[in-house]
Amino acid sequence: MKTHFALLLSFSMLAVGGCNLLAPETGYVPQVAPPMADIPVPVGFDMEHDTSRDRSDGGLRWVDHRYSGKGPIAPLANFYEKQMPQYRWNLVTRGFARGAATLDFEKARERCRITISRKNSLLNTIQIHVDVWTHTIATSPATN
């Protein structure tokens, strides 16, 4: 009887401990096919199609996407802080003000600002706002 109990306890601990191998420490996993290949979106967050827009033209990109889902803000900010470098984005700044987390990233000629805020406190709905824009370095005009 003690042997059965010990085996059951061991398997239970293994099962609970093994769950951490399936999800990152933030508690969120990225979607397999997010709307933008280089910006992860956590599973359980859906694009708000009526308020999202994007445009790409001649090597320039402009994105204004909004996603909604449920969960606390801090782990979502941690999700982006851990995931974005895997897509070659470098964290520039991270802040928290008025109940919203803001993370700014940069890579090559692009900037990305992710703002995570509460959309509806009664329903615990969170909105992730992703802005991406191409920035160029101004050069002085050529002189003859």
**Rounded to an integer, what distance in angstroms lies between the CA atom of residue 142 and that of residue 144?**
7
Query: Which tens digit of pLDDT belongs to each residue from 20-56?
Result: 334 456 689 999 999 999 999 999 999 999 999 999 9
pLDDT of 14 over the 90 cut: no
- Position 137 scores a pLDDT of 58
pTM score = 0.76
What percent of the chain clears pLDDT 70, i.e. is strictly above it?
76
- Is it true that domain 30-134 has CATH number 3.40.50? no
91 HSE (CA, 13 A, CB side): 15
Task: Assess contact for 103 and 77: CB atoms under 8 A.
Answer: yes
Quote the Cα angle for 39-116-61, to 5°.
35
The domains of the chain are located at 30-134
Per-residue model confidence as pLDDT tens digits over 51-66: 999 999 988 999 999 9
